[in-house]
Amino acid sequence: MFRGRDDVYARRWEAPDGRHGYSPVLRAGIRRVRRQPIEPAQCLPLTDEAIRGHLEGAGVLGVYPLQLDETTAFLAIDLDKAAWLTTFALSVRHARSSEFPTRWSAHAQGAARTCGCSSIA
C-alpha cells in the first residue's frame, strides 16, 4: 500500500487510440483545461468509497506522493532500460551522500549486491 495525499487522487484512463494515463478526479462541474494547472480545491479528496471501488476492480486509482509541504513517504524509480544497474548504483550513492532515509525492497537489495552496493540499509 502506498501513502499519498488525501486531498486529491487520480484515476487511470484509456483513450480509444490506446493512449493511457492518470488524471486527477475533479469535483462535479469542473472541466479540465489542457495545460492549465489544477487547484486542489477543484479535486475530489480520496475517500474510503473510492478505495473500496479500486480494491473491488471498479477502476484503477493513482496517488500523488508529493505532499503539500514537498515531502513524500515513498519514492519509486523505474529502472528498466539497458543502463538500469548504473542508474541504480548512482541512486544508492546519492541517497547515502544526502543522508536521505531509505528502506530498500528485497529486489533492490539483490540488485545492490550485483552492482557492488551490498551494504544498503
Strands of the sheet containing 61-62, edge to edge, are 20-24, 10-14, 61-62
Residue 43 burial (CB count, 10 A): 19
| For residues 89-96, average pLDDT | 78
Q: What is the pLDDT of residue 17?
A: 97
**pLDDT tens for each residue of 20-48:** 999 999 999 998 888 888 888 999 999 99
Instruction: Give 13's Cβ-side CA count (13 Å radius).
Output: 9
Q: Using alpha carbons only, how large is the chain's radius of gyration in Å?
A: 18
Q: What is the pLDDT of residue 27?
A: 94
Domain boundaries, given as residue ranges, for the chain: 10-62, 75-121
| For residues 85-90, average pLDDT | 81
> Which of the pair, 15 or 101, is modelled with greater confidence?
15
- The answer to whether the predicted template modeling score (pTM) of the entire model surpasses 0.85 is no
